[in-house]
Amino acid sequence: MAERGQYFHNVFSKSDANRFDLDLYKKGDPAKKSPPFDKPGEVDVFCSIHARMSCIILVLENPYFAKTDGRGRYTITNVPPGHYTLVAWQERLPNDTKEIIVPETGKPLRCRFYARHQESAQDTNPAWRSLGTNQS
């Protein structure tokens, strides 16, 4: 039985973007290595000691991102004018994308995503839900 606070972890990822292995380290005693996170992409992170420990880290190309609130709304501010691909990401759904043009000046853009749960693909009454729309 482990002494309280003496748990070990071994955090690693085999994802194409940002593959790493932090080797064994103790809780409260930080790992000697740190993940590079230098390539954009989705990084699936696991612990070889604890099967239930996992997370997904998104390494993004720029600071223009937002997390939706409880009602599925989001706002991305201070985006320079230009042509962009806006991507909606949710771990259990395929990505959805929209091409947008941020004008030099003008009203905020509104961009709404809809997605269907993969589990309900065979459902005769598919549940559609909003992944988000920007606020203004």
**For binding to Cu ion (CB under 5 A), which residues are involved?**
9, 47, 49-50, 53
Give the burial class of 51: count Cβ atoms within 10 A of its Cβ; 0-12 exposed, 13-18 middle, 19 or more buried: exposed
Half-sphere exposure of 109 (CA within 13 A, CB side): 20
Of 9 and 73, the one with the shorter C-beta distance to Cu ion is: 9
The nearest distance, CB 86 to Cu ion, in angstroms, is 35
The nearest distance, CB 53 to Cu ion, in angstroms, is 4
| Whether the Cβ atoms of residue 115 and residue 122 lie closer than 8 Å to each other | no
The nearest distance, CB 10 to Cu ion, in angstroms, is 7
